[in-house]
Amino acid sequence: MMRKTIIFACLLSSAFFIACGEAPKTSKPDMESMIEENFRHAAAQYKILASKIPTDRMPKYYDPRKDSMVTSDTKWWCSGFYPGTLWYIYEQTRDEAIRKEAEARLALLEPEKHFTGNHDLGFMIFCSFGNAYRITGNPLYKPTIDTAAISLATRYRPEIKSIQSWDKNKHFNCPVIIDNMMNLELLHWVSDQGGDSRFRDIAVSHANSTLERHYRPDNSSWHVLDYDLTTGQVIGKRTWQGAADSSAWARGQSWGLYGFTLMYRMTKDDRYLQQAQKIADFILSHPRLPEDMVPYWDFDSPDIPNTYRDASAAAINASALLELAQFSDNELKARYLNAAEKMLITLSSDAYRAKEGENGGFILMHSLGALPFNGEVDVPLTYADYYFLEALKRYKDWYLK
């Protein structure tokens, strides 16, 4: 019988800025029913979204102020999230129209297994083909994943024991960003599934260098470390999407939380578990984390509370915390589970989840891509939907049995 706990969620009305104040508290809904309803809603929304996307493009975001859909080619770092989300929906609904769309998008994305232009092969290929292979067992999907690992490994730089995120440019010499932790699963998984053990070694090396260099004493992370490949030394600690070099960009903290949790799952190295728990404590104990658990886009934004929230960070946090709870003792497990429940309830509310037929077909509203560049500000984003549905699936699989 499903475990019944009572928590409270601060469910706020949707607004251009969402700030959590004295809102009525609401009892936790039946989680099983809520999850089932969310996947039904997701199927309806993604059929609408599919109808708006050209067959040779991927959805990037929808601008509600202009009522316009923005798309990307398959080299955009988010190109794997749309087919990955379709596979999550199919897994729960067995809707054949959703599966057909997922398969068509995989065919479009498949050539990117050879992409070596940046570090994002994990997002692009493992979130899409990885889920397709897990759900269907189709052996034709595995070579694409294996080839993507080969491509990603070309960006490993032994001089810094890390995977170079972006190529050298006018801003950075050899940048390594915290987001890169999310791409290590691809490498480790391919090694574990019979691939070259070198991929696992690269993943571990990168995780270790990130653990050593990327975190501050308060367990927040810098967004970008810039390296000198000649000396192997860090020459800059910067941000690209955060409020300042010294700030804690919210989604960056989420990437680290998720990344070290998955590395513990794959290695059982206690250092990774401890780091994930430290990051979780930074997030959950932060005095500027709103009561409804959806963070402001940067924990150090000077405009708090009159600034943007990032639903994508909350979705990533929820998914990561549900897994971290699996590896933690009873007290921490309860803390992480309760926080993740609250995040999912908030994201399922009218404050963040779009009504059917609205939001361009996306599920969640109020995410933020890169405020310093006025990019993807207060819009629905593909990775917010992806990690939201992943978190719902994880809750169903792990906590409703």
Write phi, then psi, for 178 (nearest 5 degrees): -65, -30
DSSP state of 128: I
Lookup result for tokens 């810098």: 222
Q: Is 120 a catalytic residue?
A: yes
- Judge contact between 174 and 160, C-beta under 8 A: yes
DSSP state of 309: B
Query: Coil, strand or helix: which one is 4?
Result: coil
**Using CA atoms, how far apart are residues 49 and 52, in angstroms rounded to an integer?**
5
Q: Dihedral, CA atoms, 250, 255, 257, 261, nearest 10 degrees? A: 170
- Judge contact between 98 and 41, C-beta under 8 A: no
Catalytic residue from among 95, 120, 298, 310: 120
Helix, strand, coil share (%) of the chain residues, nearest 5 = 50, 15, 35
Read off the tokens for 278.
């430290």
Best CA proximity match to 129, nearest among 89, 102, 91: 102
String of DSSP letters for 151-204: HHHTTEETTTTEE--S---SS-SSEEEGGGGGGHHHHHHHHHTTS-HHHHHHHH
Catalytic residue from among 95, 146, 179, 298: 179
Those residues with Cβ within 8 angstroms of residue 272's Cβ, 6 or more apart along the chain or in another chain = 207, 211, 260, 261, 263, 264
Residue 378: left (phi > 0), alpha (psi -120 to 50), or beta? Answer: left
Query: Coil, strand or helix: which one is 376?
Result: strand
Q: Is 292 a catalytic residue?
A: no
Burial state string for 114-138 with b = 16 or more CB within 10 A and e = fewer than 16: ebeebbbbbbbbbbbbbbbbeebee
Read off the tokens for 39.
């996947």
String of DSSP letters for 316-330: HHHHHHHHHHHTS-H
Burial state string for 68-80 with b = 16 or more CB within 10 A and e = fewer than 16: ebeebebebbbbb
Which residues carry out catalysis? Answer: 120, 179
